[in-house]
Amino acid sequence: MLFKQQALLRQKLFVLGSLAIGSLLYLVARVGSLDRLQPLCPMDGRFGPRSQEEIPLRALQFKRGLLHEFRKGNATKEQIRLHNLVQQLPKAIIIGVRKGGTRALLEMLNLHPAVVKASQEIHFFDNDENYAKGIEWYRKKMPFSYPHQITIEKSPAYFITEEVPERIYKMNSSIKLLIIVREPTTRAISDYTQVLEGKERKNKTYYKFEKLAIDSNTCEVNTKYKAVRTSIYTKHLERWLKYFPIEQFHIVDGDRLITEPLPELQLVEKFLNLPPRISQYNLYFNATRGFYCLRFNIVFNKCLAGSKGRIHPEVDTSVVTKLRKFFHPFNQKFYQITGRTFNWP
């Protein structure tokens, strides 16, 4: 009799345990199904002096599956209306620079519950064919968001393309502009490395960096080489300053974003008048990848694509020295204009 009672008790405990585990798994699945925009604490900040409305907590709660349908274009007009979603023109744009860390910056800012990113580079302002399609075409390329969220896109070609500053000014003269820079010589080599990888994938030969960066006739820096021109930051910025005051720009340290991202992201939050929400919890160092990855919640983590963090080829030290000497006066002027100093050689 005692043996039967013990067996019955064990059976009941097993059933209760199974129910508890099932409930736990359900809760985990529920958390995973909610979009990462659901914050852990209320949004008590404001977007800035022009906005008098608080960001409603309910506006930060929508499901991953539904958002995925919106992005695929499968959502009905009724679903969009019920969720109060809109496609907004960006209130901030990461305009450059190429190989400065634009993708990393965009993905990290996307950790903020009030930020929604455009997944792809739109190339609206730097592409004549796209620009001719009009501003409504551009707006429809933006992700769905709530009215109180801020949409951000990034297209690093904007920074160096002559027509872009005027075109963006005509869309929104008060827009906030983000520029992320790295040490100019390192950035140029990174630029070269990306192109080199593309050539090798297609089994094409390519010149060594030294041959491209240095003019063989004069033995001076080859300013016709695009990777070199892009790293002359001050020349491009001066063109933008014809349309926008320096206060509408924020310079992000791309080298520091790799090694110590949180302080850089906090500076951007402040520039965008966003309440501080990104914390050390959201960033963790991946020793295998060699850089920081993103943590949205207990379920959803994300690392940048494997194409990020390419190993640079060895470059002749005399060429590196020549490039650094060439960039030095331009760097000094860049520090003076922006009010931000970097420890570049």
What is the residue extent of each domain of the chain? 67-184+230-308
Tell me: pLDDT of 11 over 60.
no
Q: What is the per-residue pLDDT across 137-158, written as a single tens digit (0 to 9) for each?
A: 999 999 999 998 999 999 999 9
Q: What is the per-residue pLDDT across 199-211, written as a single tens digit (0 to 9) for each?
A: 988 888 889 999 9
Q: Of the listed 99, 117, 176, 322, which one is catalytic?
A: 99
The encoded tokens of residue 1 equal 């009799």
What pLDDT is attached to residue 52?
Answer: 31
Specify which residues 286 forms β-bridges with.
Answer: 291
State mean pLDDT over 73-97.
Answer: 81
Lowest mean pLDDT among 59-68, 259-268, 324-333: 59-68
What pLDDT is attached to residue 320?
Answer: 98
310 is in an annotated binding site: yes
The CATH code belonging to domain 67-184+230-308 is: 3.40.50.300
102 is in an annotated binding site: yes
Tell me: pLDDT of 41 over 70.
no
12 is in an annotated binding site: no
Tell me: pLDDT of 170 over 90.
yes
What pLDDT is attached to residue 208?
Answer: 96
C-alpha distances in Å from residue 345, one per residue of 2, 12, 231, 252: 83, 71, 14, 18
278 is in an annotated binding site: no
Nearest Cα neighbor of 250 from 53, 95, 46, 132 is 95
Share of the chain above pLDDT 90, in %: 64
What pLDDT is attached to residue 301?
Answer: 85
What pLDDT is attached to residue 49?
Answer: 38
Q: Which residue has the higher pLDDT, 31 or 226?
A: 226
Strands 291-295 and 301-302: what pairing?
antiparallel
100 is in an annotated binding site: yes
What's the chain's Rg over C-alpha atoms?
Answer: 25
Is residue 99 flagged as an active site residue?
yes
Predicted confidence band of residue 82 (pLDDT cuts 50, 70, 90): low
30 is in an annotated binding site: no
State mean pLDDT over 256-265.
Answer: 96
Average pLDDT across the chain, whole number:
83
Lowest mean pLDDT among 26-30, 118-122, 163-167: 26-30
309 is in an annotated binding site: yes
State mean pLDDT over 81-95.
Answer: 89
Contact by Cβ (8 Å): 171, 92: no
State mean pLDDT over 56-82.
Answer: 51
Omega of the bond prior to 299 within 30 degrees of 0, cis?
Answer: no
What pLDDT is attached to residue 42?
Answer: 35
Global pTM value: 0.78
Predicted confidence band of residue 72 (pLDDT cuts 50, 70, 90): low
Predicted confidence band of residue 298 (pLDDT cuts 50, 70, 90): confident
DSSP string spanning 230-285?
Answer: HT-HHHHHHHHTTTS-GGGEEEEEHHHHHH-HHHHHHHHHHHTTPPP---GGGEEE
